[in-house]
Amino acid sequence: MFVDLGITGQFIGAERGNYRIAIEIKELRGKSPMVELEQAMGQYTLYRLLLAQVDPERSLYLAVSTQVYKELFQEPIGKLVIRDLPLNLLIVDVETVEVKQWIPRL
């Protein structure tokens, strides 16, 4: 099932053995990093809720670039988001198209 919520970014599903994930890719290139973070977290939460209904075995990850991770998620508010929200995070080097780090929620 594909749900188009009119959201910028890409949504990808992947499987490896019995482990299934969905990835929401966000660029967060707006003028205000805080507004972009608020929007991304709201969209992520909505996708997580929808995915729980249509494919509860699939884990949702939010993918961001290494630059966004350093500039936003290494700041106090970003660390708080990672620590306290049900967020799976994937950090990607966009130049090499390589996953640099997986941060699953605990």
Instruction: Give the pLDDT confidence of 57-101 residue by residue, as tens digits.
Output: 888 888 889 988 998 899 999 899 988 988 999 898 888 888 899
Contacts of 67 (CB under 8 A, 6+ apart): 94
Ranges of each domain in the chain: 10-103
Is there a contact between 99 and 78 (Cβ–Cβ < 8 Å)?
A: no
CATH 3.30.1200.10 fits 10-103, yes or no: no
Is there a contact between 31 and 21 (Cβ–Cβ < 8 Å)?
A: no
Task: Compute the distance between CA of residue 37 and CA of residue 33 in angstroms, rounded to an integer.
Answer: 6
Task: Compute the distance between CA of residue 106 and CA of residue 103 in angstroms, rounded to an integer.
Answer: 9
Instruction: Give the pLDDT confidence of 6-21 residue by residue, as tens digits.
Output: 334 455 666 666 777 7
Closest by CA to 91, choosing from 32, 28, 47, 30, is: 28
Whole-model pTM: value is 0.77
